[in-house]
Amino acid sequence: KYLLPKVDAVLSMPAVNITQDSQEIGINVLLRMELLKHSCLLRSPMCENHVLTLIQNWMENEDRNLIPLDLQPMVYCAGVAAGDKVVWDFIKRIHDRTPPSEQKMFLFRALGCTRDIKILTTFLEESWQPSSTYSALDALEVTADNPLGNKIVLQSLKDNFDKIRPLDFVRILSFMSDYWSDPELVTDLNSFVKSHEDLFKPF
pLDDT for 48: 95
List helix spans (H) across the chain.
3-11, 27-41, 45-60, 72-82, 85-97, 102-111, 117-127, 136-144, 150-159, 166-176, 183-195, 197-200
Q: What is the pTM of this model?
A: 0.86
Q: What is the pLDDT of residues 128-172, one digit of tens each?
A: 999 998 999 999 999 988 988 888 999 998 999 889 888 888 888
Does residue 46 carry a pLDDT above 60? yes
Distance, CA of 77 to chain centre: 5
Does residue 43 carry a pLDDT above 60? yes
Does residue 20 carry a pLDDT above 80? no
pLDDT for 190: 85
Average pLDDT, the chain: 89
The answer to whether the beta carbons of residues 4 and 44 sit under 8 Å apart is: yes
The answer to whether the beta carbons of residues 135 and 127 sit under 8 Å apart is: yes
Q: Which of residues 85 and 17 earns the better pLDDT score?
A: 85
